[in-house]
Amino acid sequence: MEHIVFLDSGSLKAEIRKPKFAHTWTNFPTTSPDQVAERLSPATIAITNKIPVRADALAKAKQLRLIAVAATGTDIVDLAACRSRNVVVENIRNYVNASLPEHVFALILALRRNLFAYRADVESGRWQRAEHFCLLDHPIRDLAGSTLGVVGFGALGKAVAALGVAFDMRVLAFDVQPVGGPGVEAASLEKVLATSDVISLHVPLSPGTASLIGARELARMQPNCLLINTARGGLVDEQALADALRAGRIGGAGFDVLSVEPPHAGNPLLALRLPNFVLTPHIAWASAQAMQGLADQLIDNLESFVAGTPRNVVA
Domain match, 82 and 40 both: yes
Residue 111, domain member (yes or no): yes
pLDDT per residue as tens digits for the range 17-63: 999 999 999 999 999 999 999 999 999 999 999 999 999 999 999 99
What is the residue-averaged pLDDT of the chain? 97
Q: Are residues 25 and 112 located together in one domain of the fold?
A: no
Neighbours of 158 (CB within 10 A): 20
Instruction: Report pLDDT digits (tens) over 209-220.
Output: 999 999 999 999
Q: Which of 90, 103, 232, 238 is catalytic?
A: 232
- For 119-175, the pLDDT digits (tens) are 999 999 999 999 999 999 999 999 999 999 999 999 999 999 999 999 999 999 999
Letter for the amino acid at 82?
C
131 is an active site residue:
no
178 shares a domain with 90: no
Q: Is 137 found in the same domain as 70?
A: no
Q: Domain check: are 81 and 226 in the same one? A: no
Alpha carbon separation from 62 to 31, 47, 87, 246, 250 (Å, rounded): 19, 16, 10, 51, 51
Q: Are 149 and 86 contained in the same domain?
A: no
Q: How far apart are CA 130 and CA 133, in angstroms?
A: 7
The H or E element spanning position 116 is helix 115-124
This model's pTM is above 0.85: yes
> Looking at the structure, do residues 130 and 219 belong to the same domain, yes or no?
yes
Query: Which one of the listed residues 39, 103, 170, 282 is annotated catalytic?
Result: 282
Question: Is residue 236 domain-resident?
Answer: yes
Residues 65 and 43 in one domain: yes
Count Cβ atoms within 10 A of the Cβ of residue 263 and give its class: 0-12 exposed, 13-18 middle, 19 or more buried. Answer: middle
Q: End-to-end CA distance of the chain: give it in Å, rounded.
A: 23
Q: Are residue 198 and residue 86 in the same domain, yes or no?
A: no
Structural domain that includes position 35: 2-95+289-306
Do 127 and 38 share a structural domain? Answer: no
Count of the separate structural domains present in the chain: 2
Residue 314, in any domain of the structure: no
Q: What is the DSSP letter of 138?
A: S
Question: Is 86 part of any domain?
Answer: yes
DSSP 39-86: HHTT-SEEEESS--B-HHHHHH-TT--EEEESSS--TTB-HHHHHHTT
In a domain, 44, yes or no: yes
Residue 132 resides in a domain: yes
Active-site annotation holds for 273: no
Catalytic residue among 38, 216, 246, 261: 261
pLDDT tens-digit map of 8-24: 999 999 999 999 999 99
Extended beta strands in the chain, E state: 2-6, 23-27, 45-48, 66-69, 88-90, 147-151, 170-174, 184-186, 198-201, 226-229, 252-255, 277-279
Q: Are residues 226 and 105 part of one domain?
A: yes
Does 166 lie in the same domain as 115? Answer: yes
Q: Does residue 117 sit within a domain?
A: yes
Catalytic (active site) residue 261: yes
CATH code of 192's domain: 3.40.50.720
Helix%, strand%, coil% for the chain, nearest 5: 35, 15, 50
Q: Is residue 144 part of a domain?
A: yes
Q: What is the rounded average pLDDT of the residues 261-272? A: 93
